[in-house]
Homo-oligomer: A and B are copies of this chain.
Amino acid sequence: MAPRKQQEIFDATLWLVAEKGYDGLTVEGVAERSGVNKTTIYRWWPSKAALLGAALVEADVLGFEPPDTGSLRGDLVALVEGVRRLLTEPPASDIAVAALGAAVRHPELDGRRFFVDRFVRERQIFERAVRRGELAGSVDPMLVVDLLAGAVWVRAVFRGLPVSDGFAAEAVSAVLDGVGAG
């Protein structure tokens, strides 16, 4: 399938899940919105779960390039800003929150791939920081990512509170510098 056509199918899938939720997502609906024959879609993705799982990882609209600002602090602040945009700015936030929410309830969707795929790229931030001497090699990059991304999720999605402009720098400072009195 031509990459452009594939992206149109992914876009239709993500828009539908944002609009109607996972239960309202159908391959028929995706076919109608993307103008692609239903049987063609089924030839590539055997179910709506497979289709949404693929869209989460491969859709350009959810594309993710790890920041490379020259410093670990700068990279992590940019990373948190990216998660903030993803979870708070429509239409990306409607898509991301609906799709990630669906992944929690529907393991067959394999939403874990989304996180595995991102983490492969996030690791680069930490590898560069270790080479520059900004981070001990013993620090667990996944722990740092999970603390920072998790904080944005809890604040924006669970609490439904605004994520302030200073949030990224404060969260990164907490994790890099620590908040304890010693």
A residues within 8 Å of B by Cβ?
21, 23, 72-73, 97-98, 100-101, 103-105, 107, 111-112, 115-116, 133-136, 139-140, 142-155, 157-160, 170-171, 174-181
Chain B residue numbers with a CB within 8 Å of A104 are: 97, 101, 157-158
Chain B residue numbers with a CB within 8 Å of A171 are: 143, 147
Chain B residue numbers with a CB within 8 Å of A21 are: 105
Question: Which of A134, A139, A150, A160 counts the most B-chain CB atoms under 10 A from its CB?
Answer: A150
Pairs across A and B, CB under 8 Å, 11 listed: A72-B180, A107-B160, A134-B180, A134-B181, A143-B171, A146-B150, A146-B155, A149-B154, A176-B178, A176-B180, A177-B178
Chain B residue numbers with a CB within 8 Å of A135 are: 179-181
A154–B160 contact, CB under 8 A?
A: no
In the complex formed, the residue of B with least CB distance to A179 is B139
CA distance A100 to B101 in the complex (A): 9
CA distance A103 to B159 in the complex (A): 10
Q: How far is the CB of A55 from chain B (nearest CB, A)?
A: 17
Question: Which of A107, A112, A143, A177 counts the most B-chain CB atoms under 10 A from its CB?
Answer: A143
Q: How far is the CB of A165 from chain B (nearest CB, A)?
A: 14
A175–B181 contact, CB under 8 A?
A: no
Chain B residue numbers with a CB within 8 Å of A142 are: 155
CA distance A136 to B107 in the complex (A): 42
A158–B111 contact, CB under 8 A?
A: yes
* 19 extra interface residue pairs, beta carbon distance < 8 Å, beyond A100-B158, A146-B154: A73-B180, A98-B105, A101-B104, A103-B158, A104-B158, A112-B159, A115-B158, A135-B179, A143-B171, A143-B174, A143-B179, A145-B154, A146-B159, A147-B174, A149-B150, A150-B153, A151-B151, A175-B175, A178-B178
